[in-house]
Homo-oligomer: A and B are copies of this chain.
Amino acid sequence: MFYNLIKKSEFDKVKSHGGDWAKRMKLFADMCRYNTLVAVKKAGSGHLGSSLSAMDIVTYLYLNELNVLEVGLNSPDRDIYFSSKGHDVPGLYSLFYALGILPEEKLLMLRRLHGLDGHPEVRQPGIEASTGSLGMGISKAKGMAWAKTYNRNKGNVYVLTGDGEFQEGQIWESLQATAHQKVNNVTAIMDHNKYQTDMLVADVNNIEDVVTKVSAFGWYVVRINGHDFNELKKTFDTLKKVSDTPKMIIADTIKGKGVSFMEKPLTETFQGRTLYKWHSGAPDDESYTKGLNELSESINKLAQELGIDKIEIPENKTEGKVATKLDKEFVTDAYGEALVELAKTNKKFVVLDGDLSADCKLRNFEKTYPDRFIENGIAEQDMVSMAGGLARMGLIPIVNTFASFLAARANEQIYNNAGEKTKIIYTCHFAGMIPAGPGKSHQSVRDISLFGALPNVTIIQPCNAQETKWATDYCINVAEENCVLRLVIGPSPERIQLPEDYKFKVGVGAQLTEGNDAILFGYGPVMLHEALVAADYLKKIRFGLKVVNMPWLNKIDLNWLKDIVKDQKRIFVLEDHSAIGGLGDRLLNALKEINELDGKEFTNFGLREYPECGTPLEVLEYHQLDGKSLAKRISGVKDIETAEAVKQKYTADAPQ
């Protein structure tokens, strides 16, 4: 299996060639599409649909409107472009490569450590804004444009948005304020490809008629075909003459543009609603090959029509393996099953979703109990306050979306609801730092701290399918206050084995291994797996590590704690979270309260920096949170993996 890109020299050839301008643009864009497909396939994940739909727009902009290549990426007088939705960044990277902004090896390091982030990050030259959570872009563009005026710098500001993104309230805040503040040097372009995640925007939470809406907010709005280069050119030329309002182009595009089968929805539907498959994730081998072939054909044809000798299209090969379903446990699966099961006996709970139903494994519930399912679109604040209203009427709302978006975006709404002393369940999906490919907009390592200071909330993170079902049941049927259910979204690296006699009880964890040299508290399948790997390593040097699963992140049974730490001199906490405001802080307080800290070591392995982007192992190793690193940090033995180390007797006062 090998991955090869169409070389930069081929792009230069197209750029410098004469002939029909629009055709050359199309050729250039299709070549970028080809490279995008290769990069995403190699990464194993990434957003193809948006990358392809926005490709013509960004190609047009960088080759025709923006001065960045002339004045330099860091010139204060440069034109600025960035994508607010950020999904389309693989496409932008491939364009950056074609323009010489990115070296070849970087493009083949998409979503890898020290490679390219899964969502835009400003540390990458050419990226003007870090994005990945929706709705912030126009506000940021406004700040940039305002600063340009204040600093007396030249340059225009262009921001690309999604269409689903127009469900975020901040978009409307920014539209209103930009017009009022007369920051007219902003041009927003909507990549209106009609699908958000895997369904039609029109089905999820319709934004139409968006031209009327945006116009009502005082913007100059035009709606065009976002794949027609001549229309793009004409439009941008016209907009240059509009200087008394900010400007918005609604560009009708096709998600997956350029690859026939990615342009089409699935024939299968969900409850009468259209489904789309290519929002995120890498294509299977067959689709990949087919996609490359289609693009090659188009490239060859266009080159021929333009009279370009030949575009060198490299060979790309797959392993030809048939995709097999991953035989791993997902705690989210167990959660989805539990909801369906529990709904039979408890009629009071209803489920809310913020456009992530499939990822959050809610589709089965949605299908089984359509009258108890509320799809709210990408409008977390509205979803959370709606849940507040539902709860005030005696229902138990279960709010679902990614932890980053739920805990942070809707934080004040959560506080407001909690103050009403109703019960709401906030299910924080994609909690923790793994998977690390999407980057830090998606990795949630602050959510415990964001809920922590609410006086009436219980925060739980289960470690396996069984515990997830117990936790879901507890939240719905037992808890009397608000609950946060923190769930890892990816596959569990192993199925964590709980003791046979373990009972899921408030504040009480479960001992997973024996050991008296140190105790390590952890939670969730990802980090407990690393803890168990560490314990295995340590066993080799006769170091006994007691690993404890502690699913109760802010409720600790002091008697249980006293008992479990009583013979331990060295206490460690392994967070899937920042070291600030997670389980560690609560454990430290509890240990002090029960007087079990004196003469003991206490170390919190939580993050003290931003989570890195990369594969799980790359990122865990980077943060020294993989099992091997943990074993070294706990024992102080640096060459723990070598035979020498195994022989070496552990000394309790080894440097750490």
Query: Contact residues of A with B, CB < 8 Å?
Result: 76, 121-123, 128-133, 135-136, 139-148, 150-151, 153, 167-174, 176-177, 179-181, 205-207, 209, 212-213, 216-217, 350, 371-372, 374, 376-377, 379, 381-395, 397, 404-405, 407-409, 411-413, 415-416, 419-421, 440-441, 445-446, 449-450, 452-455, 554, 577-578, 580-582, 585-586, 588-589, 592, 597-599, 602, 604, 607-610
Contacts and interface: CB of A to CB of B under 8 A. Distances in A.
Given A143-B386, A151-B393, A408-B415, 19 more contacts: A121-B419, A139-B383, A139-B388, A140-B385, A140-B388, A143-B392, A144-B389, A173-B379, A212-B216, A213-B216, A408-B411, A408-B412, A415-B446, A416-B441, A419-B441, A449-B452, A450-B453, A455-B578, A597-B598
Name, among A387, A397, A452, the residue most crowded by chain B CB atoms within 10 Å (CB to CB).
A452
B386 A580 contact: no
A385 B415 contact: no
A198 B396 CA distance: 40
A177 B390 contact: no
A445 B453 contact: yes
Contact of A146 (B139, B146, B374, B586): B374
A216 B209 contact: yes
B180 A130 contact: no
Contacts of A151: 393-395
B592 A602 contact: yes
A144 B390 contact: yes
A636 B96 CA distance: 68
A174 B128 CA distance: 31
A133 B6 CA distance: 54
A391 B142 CA distance: 12
B412 A404 contact: yes
Contacts of A148: 393
Given A136-B385, A147-B393, A205-B180, A130 B419 contact: yes
Nearest to A448: B453
Contacts of A397: 143
B205 A177 contact: yes
A176 B207 contact: yes
Contacts of A408: 411-412, 415
Contacts of A174: 169, 379, 382, 385-386
A452 B580 contact: yes
B130 A581 contact: no
A133 B588 contact: no
Contact of A139 (B206, B350, B385): B385
A554 B177 CA distance: 34
B170 A381 contact: yes
A130 B385 contact: no
Name, among A176, A179, A386, A581, the residue most crowded by chain B CB atoms within 10 Å (CB to CB).
A386
